[in-house]
């Protein structure tokens, strides 16, 4: 399966849930269930959203590491899913930085740039 096709399949929550079950990684499943619960997502929703976030936000180094892992893997789809999920879990577990002035504009607060 090509990477684009895999990402498309993972964007469907039911396909994502099946893929997560197929990994057979109970530790990863528990982490997904816990993080998903924090975000009001089922495991399938979390996996689908995590794959979308990876596709949209992963940096060049993340993609290079993924491509290298794919080249070495006996089961590339398993590697892709595992790396994307661990990437998402790591970012979701990180503390959210406080925003200056309570806004996300980056200008030091909305009143500062009116």
How do the pLDDT tens digits run along the chain, 114 residues long?
Answer: 577 777 777 777 888 888 888 888 899 999 999 999 999 999 989 999 999 999 999 999 999 999 999 999 998 888 889 999 999 999 998 887 765 555 555 545 555 444
Instruction: Quote the pLDDT of residue 102.
Output: 55
Provide φ and ψ at 109, rounded to 5°. Answer: 120, 140
Instruction: Quote the pLDDT of residue 84.
Output: 92
Q: How many CB atoms lie within 10 A of CB 7?
A: 15
Instruction: Quote the pLDDT of residue 49.
Output: 92
CB 41 within 8 A of CB 16: no
Instruction: Quote the pLDDT of residue 114.
Output: 40
Instruction: Quote the pLDDT of residue 112.
Output: 45
Burial class (CB in 10 A: 0-12, 13-18, 19+), 59: exposed
Q: What is the pTM of this model?
A: 0.74
């Amino acid at each position: 399966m090509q990477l684009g096709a895999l990402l498309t399949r993972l964007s469907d929550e039911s396909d994502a849930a099946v893929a997560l079950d197929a990994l057979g990684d109970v530790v990863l499943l528990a982490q997904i269930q816990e993080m998903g619960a924090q975000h009001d997502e089922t495991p399938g929703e979390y996996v689908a959203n995590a794959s979308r976030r990876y596709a949209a936000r992963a940096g060049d180094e993340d993609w290079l590491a993924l491509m290298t892992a794919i080249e070495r893997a006996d089961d590339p789809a398993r590697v892709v899913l595992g790396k994307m999920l661990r990437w998402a879990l790591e970012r979701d577990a990180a503390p959210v930085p406080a925003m200056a002035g309570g806004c996300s504009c980056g200008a030091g607060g909305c009143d500062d740039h009116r």
